[in-house]
A and B are shown apart, each in its own frame.
Chain A
Amino acid sequence: MPKSDSLQGSMDLLVLKILSRRPGLHGYAIMTAIQEISSDVLRAEEGSLYPALHRMEQTGWIRAKWVTKENGRRARMYELTGTGKQQLAAEEWRWHAVTSAVNRVLRMA
Chain B
Amino acid sequence: MPLWNRFINVLRRRRLNREIDEELDSHLAEAAEHGRDPEEVRRAFGSRLRIGEESYDIRVLPRLDSLCADTIFGWRQLRKHRVATTAAILSLGLALGASISAFRLVDALLLRPMPVAEPERLYAMFTLGYDPGGHFRLGDSNEYPQFQIMRAAVKHDAELIAASFGERVELTYGSDQEIEKAHRQFVSGWMFDTFGMKPALGRLFSESDDDKPHAHPYAVLSYDYWTRRFGRDPKALGRSFRMGDDLYEIVGVAPQGFTGTEPGTMTDIFLPTMMYAGVTHDDWGWIRTFVYMRPGGSVSVVRDHLQAVFHAVQTERAKSFVGWPRKRLENFLSQTIRVLAASGGLSDIRQQYKQPLEILAVLVGLVLLIGCVNVANLLTAQATARAREMALRVSIGAGRARLTQLVLVESAMLALLACTVGVLFAWWSAPYLVEHINPPDDPVRLVLSIDWRVIGFGLLLTIAVTFLFGLFPALRASATQPVSALKGGDDTNGRPKVMHGLIAAQVTFCCVVIFLAGLLLKSSDRLENQPIGFSSERLLALDVETKPSQRADFWNQVAEHLRELPGVEQVAIAGWPLLSGFGANGFVSVNGVTGSDSLAYFLDISPGWLEAMKLRLLDGRDFRPDDVYPGVAIVNEAFAKEYFGNANPLGRRFARGTTPLEVVGLVSNARYRNMREQITPTAYIPFRPDHDQPIDSAVLMIRTVGENPLAMAGLLRREVPRARSEFRVSNIRTQVEINRSQTIRERLLATLALFFAVVALLLAGIGIYGVLDYSVLQRRREIGIRIAVGATAGRVASTVASGFFSMVVGGAAVGAGLGMAAGHSADALLYEVKPSDTGILLGALFTILVIGAMAAIAPVARAVRIDPMAVLKVE
Known contacts A46-B46, A47-B45; A58/B26 CB under 8 A: no
**Cβ distance A97 to chain B, nearest Cβ, rounded Å:** 27
CB distance A60 to B29 under 8 Å? no
Q: Is A55 an interface residue (CB 8 A)?
A: yes
Q: Is A22 an interface residue (CB 8 A)?
A: no
Per-residue 0/1 for B667-708: is the Cβ within 8 Å of any A Cβ (1 yes, 0 no)?
000000000000000000000000000000000000000000
**Residue of B whose beta carbon sits closest to that of A27:** B27
**Cβ distance A55 to chain B, nearest Cβ, rounded Å:** 5
**Number of A-B pairs whose CB atoms are under 8 Å?**
60
Q: Which of A45, A48, A74 contacts B26 (CB 8 A)?
A: A74
How far is B652's CA from A71's CA once the two chains are assembled, in angstroms? 127
How far is B50's CA from A45's CA once the two chains are assembled, in angstroms? 14
Chain A residues with Cβ under 8 A from B20's Cβ?
50, 54
Q: Is B30 an interface residue (CB 8 A)?
A: yes
Chain A residues with Cβ under 8 A from B34's Cβ?
28, 32
Per-residue 0/1 for A8-31: is the Cβ within 8 Å of any B Cβ (1 yes, 0 no)?
000000000000000000111100
Segment 4-23 of B: residues with Cβ below 8 Å from A: 5-6, 19-20, 22-23
How far is B19's CA from A59's CA once the two chains are assembled, in angstroms? 18
Q: Is A94 an interface residue (CB 8 A)?
A: no
Per-residue 0/1 for B709-737: is the Cβ within 8 Å of any A Cβ (1 yes, 0 no)?
00000000000000000000000000000
How far is B48's CA from A50's CA once the two chains are assembled, in angstroms? 11
Q: Is B41 an interface residue (CB 8 A)?
A: yes
How far is B139's CA from A108's CA once the two chains are assembled, in angstroms? 98
CB distance A58 to B23 under 8 Å? no
Chain A residues with Cβ under 8 A from B29's Cβ?
73
Chain B residues with Cβ under 8 A from A26's Cβ?
26-27, 30
CB distance B6 to A58 under 8 Å? yes
Segment 45-70 of B: residues with Cβ below 8 Å from A: 45-47, 50-51, 54-55, 58-59
Chain A residues with Cβ under 8 A from B46's Cβ?
46-47
CB distance B44 to A58 under 8 Å? no
Chain A contact surface mostly: helix
How far is B19's CA from A60's CA once the two chains are assembled, in angstroms? 18
Chain A residues with Cβ under 8 A from B55's Cβ?
50-51, 54
Per-residue 0/1 for A34-52: is the Cβ within 8 Å of any B Cβ (1 yes, 0 no)?
0000000000011110110
Chain B residues with Cβ under 8 A from A57's Cβ?
59
CB distance A58 to B27 under 8 Å? no
Segment 63-89 of A: residues with Cβ below 8 Å from B: 73-76
CB distance A27 to B23 under 8 Å? yes
CB distance A74 to B27 under 8 Å? no
How far is B54's CA from A34's CA once the two chains are assembled, in angstroms? 23
Segment 26-42 of B: residues with Cβ below 8 Å from A: 26-27, 29-31, 34, 41
Chain B residues with Cβ under 8 A from A47's Cβ?
44-47, 50-51
**Residue of B whose beta carbon sits closest to that of A47:** B46
Q: Is B2 an interface residue (CB 8 A)?
A: yes
Q: Is B117 an interface residue (CB 8 A)?
A: no
CB distance B58 to A28 under 8 Å? no
Chain B residues with Cβ under 8 A from A60's Cβ?
2
How far is B46's CA from A32's CA once the two chains are assembled, in angstroms? 18
Known contacts A50-B23, A51-B58, A74-B26; A58/B45 CB under 8 A: no
Q: Is B24 an interface residue (CB 8 A)?
A: yes
Chain B residues with Cβ under 8 A from A75's Cβ?
23, 26, 30
**Residue of B whose beta carbon sits closest to that of A71:** B33
**Cβ distance B658 to chain A, nearest Cβ, rounded Å:** 98
The bracket for how many chain B residues form the interface is: 20 to 34
How far is B722's CA from A2's CA once the two chains are assembled, in angstroms? 123
How far is B5's CA from A55's CA once the two chains are assembled, in angstroms? 12
Chain A residues with Cβ under 8 A from B50's Cβ?
47
CB distance B58 to A54 under 8 Å? yes
Chain A residues with Cβ under 8 A from B19's Cβ?
76
How far is B90's CA from A78's CA once the two chains are assembled, in angstroms? 54
How far is B24's CA from A109's CA once the two chains are assembled, in angstroms? 47
CB distance A74 to B31 under 8 Å? no
Chain B residues with Cβ under 8 A from A76's Cβ?
19, 22-23, 26
Chain A residues with Cβ under 8 A from B47's Cβ?
47
Known contacts A27-B27, A54-B55; A46/B45 CB under 8 A: yes
**Residue of B whose beta carbon sits closest to that of A32:** B34
How far is B44's CA from A28's CA once the two chains are assembled, in angstroms? 13
**Cβ distance A21 to chain B, nearest Cβ, rounded Å:** 20
How far is B173's CA from A7's CA once the two chains are assembled, in angstroms? 92
Known contacts A46-B41, A46-B46, A59-B2; A54/B59 CB under 8 A: yes
**Cβ distance A34 to chain B, nearest Cβ, rounded Å:** 14
Chain B residues with Cβ under 8 A from A51's Cβ?
51, 54-55, 58
CB distance A50 to B26 under 8 Å? no
Chain A residues with Cβ under 8 A from B5's Cβ?
58
**Cβ distance B3 to chain A, nearest Cβ, rounded Å:** 10
Chain A residues with Cβ under 8 A from B45's Cβ?
46-47
CB distance B22 to A28 under 8 Å? no
How far is B25's CA from A27's CA once the two chains are assembled, in angstroms? 11
**Cβ distance A105 to chain B, nearest Cβ, rounded Å:** 35
Known contacts A47-B46, A60-B2; A74/B58 CB under 8 A: no
Known contacts A47-B46, A58-B6; A73/B26 CB under 8 A: yes
Chain B residues with Cβ under 8 A from A32's Cβ?
34
**Cβ distance B675 to chain A, nearest Cβ, rounded Å:** 76
**Cβ distance B5 to chain A, nearest Cβ, rounded Å:** 7
**Cβ distance B6 to chain A, nearest Cβ, rounded Å:** 7
Chain A residues with Cβ under 8 A from B51's Cβ?
47-48, 50-51
**Residue of B whose beta carbon sits closest to that of A49:** B27
Chain B residues with Cβ under 8 A from A58's Cβ?
2, 5-6, 58-59
Chain A residues with Cβ under 8 A from B22's Cβ?
74, 76
**Cβ distance A31 to chain B, nearest Cβ, rounded Å:** 8
How far is B1's CA from A60's CA once the two chains are assembled, in angstroms? 8
How far is B43's CA from A45's CA once the two chains are assembled, in angstroms? 11
**Residue of A whose beta carbon sits closest to that of B30:** A28
Chain B residues with Cβ under 8 A from A59's Cβ?
2
CB distance A46 to B2 under 8 Å? no
**Residue of B whose beta carbon sits closest to that of A69:** B26
**Cβ distance B762 to chain A, nearest Cβ, rounded Å:** 53
How far is B19's CA from A75's CA once the two chains are assembled, in angstroms? 10
Known contacts A54-B55, A58-B59, A60-B2; A46/B27 CB under 8 A: yes
How far is B355's CA from A99's CA once the two chains are assembled, in angstroms? 83
**Cβ distance A2 to chain B, nearest Cβ, rounded Å:** 16
CB distance B58 to A46 under 8 Å? no
Known contacts A28-B31, A76-B23; A55/B58 CB under 8 A: yes
Q: 23 A-B Cβ contacts within 8 A?
A: A26-B30, A27-B27, A28-B31, A28-B34, A46-B41, A46-B44, A47-B51, A50-B23, A50-B51, A50-B55, A51-B54, A51-B55, A54-B55, A54-B58, A54-B59, A57-B59, A58-B2, A58-B58, A58-B59, A73-B29, A75-B26, A75-B30, A76-B23
B contact set with A: CB distance below 8 Å? 2, 5-6, 19-20, 22-24, 26-27, 29-31, 34, 41, 44-47, 50-51, 54-55, 58-59
3 tightest A-B CB contacts, nearest first: A47-B46, A28-B30, A51-B54
- Known: A26-B27, A27-B26, A59-B2; 6 extra A-B contacts, CB below 8 A, are A28-B30, A46-B27, A48-B51, A50-B51, A54-B55, A58-B6
